[in-house]
Homo-oligomer: A and B are copies of this chain.
Amino acid sequence: MPKKSRFLHTPVEPFAIEAGLTVDQVLARMERISFQGRNLATAHRIWLKMLEDDVTIFMGMAGALSAGGLRLVVAHLITHRYIDCLVSTGANLYHDLHETRGQRHFIGSPMADDAALADERIDRVYDTYADEEEFIGNDNWIADFVARLEARPYTTREFLYLLGGHLWDATHRDGILTAAYRANVPIFCPAIADSSIGMGLSQGRQKRAGVGFIDVIGDIVESANLVIRRPRTASVVLGGGTPKNFINQASVQAEFYSPEVTGHRYALQIVTDVPHFGGASGSSLEEAQSWGKLATDSDRVSVHADATIALPVLASALAVTAPPILKQRRMPVFSLASRVMTVDEQDVACDRFEDRNEPAV
Contacts and interface: CB of A to CB of B under 8 A. Distances in A.
Nearest to A11: B104
Contacts of A73: 14-15, 17
Most B CB contacts (10 A, CB to CB) among A127, A288, A309 go to A309
B35 A126 contact: yes
Contacts of A72: 14-17
A35 B127 contact: yes
A7 B106 contact: yes
A308 B296 CA distance: 28
A253 B67 contact: no
Contacts of A287: 114, 124-126
A217 B206 contact: no
Given A117-B7, A129-B7, A17 B319 contact: yes
Chain A contact patch, size range: 35 or more
A91 interface: yes
A102 to B, nearest CB: 9
A62 B279 contact: yes
Interface string A144-182: 000000000100000000000000000000000000000
A209 B309 contact: no
B12 A105 contact: yes
Contact of A280 (B64, B122, B209): B64
